[in-house]
């Protein structure tokens, strides 16, 4: 037979009046079952879960969307700033709730959330950066010539500082000095110069740019990607110009690169 809850209640209550050694003779169920029923009724008596107040209502979907939109459009805002803006708009929401929403969305709730990427940083600083590097060309009679070029990161404008068959540190310094004297580059908003660690870039070479108000940044050894923009323009010159024609002498190379 199947016992109803009322039957279980009476049997459990009756078991408290009868010695336990007589349970097996009187009750058609095992003592273990009786004890389990009794524990269940005791737990039910002291269960106040139905009398608890409901918790916080769930955050409206529109508010969640607004929080994520604020975080996306304002990368410097933390969860407390976003909470303040929501309060001004009349949304009653806790700062901890904003923190949880951002955290679950995979967004760092801290004010300095991730910061700009390298691409964003270099794009923002591009107008303040120039880079220099050498390219070499073998003439028709196998004489090697070297050209010193400068690239403005912001405009991608390339300048030819000079061409020589003997690229010494003294020559590079003088070529740079002549260029700065005859151009408006030193009057612009340029703040940084990127160069590699070639032997032609001496302390005197750096001093010329320092006098013009530029800070010299040396790329790590054997790391062409640290001066990637300049390396790329040199590669473009090789593929689209120098690999398609024979160079006769310094004058010919200077005129070709200038054009």
218: exposed, middle or buried (Cβ count in 10 Å: 0-12, 13-18, 19+): middle
Are 232 and 226 in contact by the 8 Å Cβ rule? The answer is no
Tell me the DSSP string of 74-140. -TT--HHHHHHHHHHTT----HHHHHHHHHHTT---SSS-S---HHHHHHHHGGGEEEEEEEEEE-T
Are 78 and 109 in contact by the 8 Å Cβ rule? The answer is yes
One digit per residue, the tens of pLDDT, for the chain of length 259 reads: 566 777 667 777 777 777 777 767 677 777 777 677 777 877 777 777 776 666 667 888 888 999 999 888 887 788 888 888 888 888 888 888 888 888 888 887 776 555 566 566 667 777 888 999 999 999 988 899 999 999 998 888 999 999 999 999 999 999 999 988 877 554 457 888 999 988 899 999 999 998 888 899 888 888 788 888 889 999 999 999 988 888 999 999 999 999 8
Q: Which CATH superfamily is domain 122-258 in?
A: Ribonuclease H-like superfamily/Ribonuclease H (3.30.420.10)
Domain spans in the chain, listed from the N-terminal domain onward: 5-47, 61-104, 122-258
Torsion region of 90: left, alpha or beta (phi above 0 gives left; psi -120 to 50 gives alpha): left
Q: How far apart are CA 59 and CA 56, in angstroms?
A: 9
147: exposed, middle or buried (Cβ count in 10 Å: 0-12, 13-18, 19+): buried
The pTM (predicted TM-score) of the whole model is 0.54
């Amino acid at each position: 037979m199947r016992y109803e809850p009322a039957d279980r209640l009476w049997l459990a209550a009756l078991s408290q009046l009868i010695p336990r050694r007589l349970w097996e003779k009187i009750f058609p169920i095992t003592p273990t079952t009786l004890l389990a029923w009794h524990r269940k009724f005791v737990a039910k008596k002291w269960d106040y879960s139905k009398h608890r107040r409901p918790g916080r209502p769930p955050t409206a979907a529109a508010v969640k969307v607004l929080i994520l939109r604020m975080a996306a459009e304002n990368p410097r805002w933390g969860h407390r700033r976003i909470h303040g803006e929501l309060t001004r708009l009349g949304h009653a929401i806790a700062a901890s709730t904003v923190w949880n929403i951002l955290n679950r969305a995979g967004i760092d709730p801290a004010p300095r959330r991730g910061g700009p990427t390298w691409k964003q940083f270099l794009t923002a600083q591009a107008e303040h950066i120039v880079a220099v590097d050498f390219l070499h060309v073998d003439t028709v009679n196998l004489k090697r010539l070297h050209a010193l070029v400068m690239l403005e990161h912001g405009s991608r404008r390339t300048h030819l500082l000079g061409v020589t068959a003997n690229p010494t540190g003294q020559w590079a310094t003088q070529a740079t000095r002549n260029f700065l004297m005859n151009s408006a580059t030193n009057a612009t908003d340029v703040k940084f110069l990127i160069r590699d660690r070639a032997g032609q870039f001496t302390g005197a070479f750096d001093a010329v740019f320092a006098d013009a108000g530029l800070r010299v940044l040396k790329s790590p050894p054997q790391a062409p990607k640290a001066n990637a923009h300049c390396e790329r323009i040199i590669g473009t010159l090789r593929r689209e110009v120098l690999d398609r024609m024979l160079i006769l002498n310094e004058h010919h190379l200077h005129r070709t690169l200038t054009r």
